[in-house]
Structure 1
Amino acid sequence: MTDPRPGSFPARLAGVALVVAGLACGEVPTLPEGVAYISPIILASPAVALGDTLRDSLGVVTPLKLYGIDNSGDTVRNITPLFIVTSIPGQSVHLTPTNLAIGDSVRTATIVGQVGTRLQTPPASLDVVLQPDSVSASTSTSSRFPVPTAGEVTSVVSLGVSVTSPPTSTTQRAGVKSIIVRYAVTRIFPATASIPDTTLVLIDDTGRFRLPTGRAATDTTDAAGSASRRIRAIPLGFDSVEVSASANNLKGIPLKGSPIRFVVTTK
């Protein structure tokens, strides 16, 4: 279970480095329109449903994108990229002339982008999955912070969920990978409790939390359809905390069972 992969939602890039046109005598050559670099492929979502078109988190059909960048670091948008499906063997997705990606087979597709003959992106991964219809808790929705272990002042409780697709005539209900699950601290009881920032936070598998407050987090379902975040707190000064976990299908519609509400008490 990981954070959404780079490139798996708007404004994120599918990779970590810009692609440079090549080096000669220490200078970066430029292509037409002043392009010196290109961004990695920008995916609207980490997954596309089988038989459907890639959509953003609101369910809006969204093409593959990449941007050019000139030597001054400014974005060059009026370029015409070429996208190529490189996953083999067999079909995974196919691309329309307007750069829409349509899921053909349940598997992971790899796609590269090109501008001209000299610039190519690293491969971007796009999972083709069955359309999910439900989300449910995989850990208790009512629990208690354990007593901190020796030498520690905080305690941690896991908040797990499972995203699944409906059974068919030939398959059973199954977990769906690459679905983004959003966690948020929604209420603290009593409402008058004063809790310093970062002493009650949602953390990932490595113990990191999202600034500035740590009260929101995301995870992406793994191959079994599972996602999880943990709530970490100094269990003093409040009675309980409520955390919601929500997920949509790949058309932007909330899944059955969403949001899930977890309540963790200190007593």
Structure 2
Amino acid sequence: MSSRSLALVAAIIASASCTDLPSDPKAPFAVEFRRAPSPSVVSGDSLRDSLGVVAPLRAVVFNAKGDTIKGAAVKYRLVPINKDSVAPAKIDSVSGHVTADTTRAFANRSFRVYAEAGGIQTLPETLYVTRRPDALVKVDSVVTLRLSFLPSDSLPNSPAVSVRLRHITDGLAGDTVVPHYEVRFRITSPASAATDTSYVMLTGGDRRRSEVDTTDASGLASREVRVRRALFPLARSTGPADSVAYDSIHVEARAYYRNGQIAGSPASLLVIVTARKTAGP
């Protein structure tokens, strides 16, 4: 059980201290809605994960002791954001598979899903219907991180490297963007960065490692590179020993749809790192 679920069960037990808790190990006491495979469903398609594979919603049921109830009957429900509106998607209540409507007007519309077991419901999660992703385009593909004059143990972030997901239309309206879609990033050089985050890693602009971003309303996805100044191996120099040293960090961005990479993937992005080797006069 996740820490979130443990906290939820503990809170329920505390609030129910004056009542008898169910002793049946098969009696549902709490339901945890696992993170949706993707924040969106492509119009006319099924819910897929970030690798483009069809994936249903999943929920886990716990008893009063916090143990998982294997094989518990879970029902999945879908409701529109507004009670009077038509839901832009459908859900199989047993399997948890979600399918988006083909109506073009539903693109970028949101809806809520939740799970229930034994009369207990999860909090709803919001999903979106989005456009078909056809092309991954570079936006800010080369940025520079200057380490000069920073303390040797500093942890600066680079400017963001970014890409945009586009939908290629068949009509006269022109291409448009794909919001609410996951894009994966990874550092390809230095190669050791894949397993060693002590000196460089991808982030969403904070201190945590993050290699997946969701496109915003403009179809943009981005990541920043966080560098530990004291450990980063600046091996090359542009001149004398007291001049500027430089190196580079190579990043790839990929997006998937229907078990394959979207055109333009992988998109190669570059962070140039510079630093003054010694303090100047």
TM-score range, shorter chain: 0.7 to 0.9
Counterpart for residue 96 of structure 1 = 92
Larger Rg: 2
For residue 61 of structure 1, report the CA deviation from its aligned partner: 2.6
- TM (norm. structure 2) is 0.74
Number of residue pairs aligned between Structure 1 and Structure 2: 244
Contact 1:135/1:163 (8 A) holds in 2: yes
Calculate the aligned-residue CA RMSD, in Å: 3.3
**Unaligned segments of structure 1, at least 5 residues:** 1-10, 211-215
Cα pair distance change 1:236/1:151, threshold 3 Å: same
TM-score (normalised: structure 1): 0.77
For residues 86-165 of structure 1, what are the structure 2 equivalents within 5 Å?
86-87=79-80, 88=82, 89-96=85-92, 98-104=95-101, 105-106=106-107, 107-117=109-119, 119-139=120-140, 141-148=141-148, 153=154, 155=156, 156-165=158-167
Q: Is 1:209 the equivalent of 2:208?
A: yes
User: Structure 2: 5+ residue runs without aligned partners?
Assistant: 236-246, 275-281
C-alpha distance in structure 2 between counterparts of 1:253 and 1:12, whole Å? 32
CA contact (8 A) 1:15 1:124 kept: no
CA contact (8 A) 2:79 2:87 kept: no
Cα distance in 2, alignment partners of residues 64 and 31 from structure 1: 27
Q: Which residue of 2 aligns with 1:223?
A: 217
Answer yes or no: is 1:262 the counterpart of 2:258.
no
SS of corresponding position for 1:54: coil
Q: What is the alpha-carbon distance in structure 1 between the residues aligned to residue 176 and residue 4 of structure 2?
A: 27
Deviations 1:157-211 (A, max 9, x none): 32111111112325432221222122211113xx89xxx8433222213x2232x
Alignment partner of 1:44 out of 18, 37, 42: 37
**The one of 233, 240, 247 aligned to 2:248:** 240
From the superposition, tell whether residues 59 and 151 of structure 1 become closer, same or farther in structure 2 (CA, over 3 Å): closer
Q: Report whether the alignment pairs 1:198 with 2:198.
A: yes
> CA distance change for structure 1 residues 147 and 243 in 2, over 3 Å: closer, same or farther?
same
**Given the alignment of the two structures, is residue 55 of structure 1 paired with residue 48 of structure 2, yes or no?**
yes
Q: Which residue, 38, 53, 70 being the options, matches 1:77?
A: 70
Partners of 2:130 and 2:118 lie apart in 1 by 32
- Partner Cα distance (1:134, 1:236) in 2: 35
Q: 1:96 and 1:154, CA in 2 relative to 1: closer, same or farther beyond 3 A?
A: closer
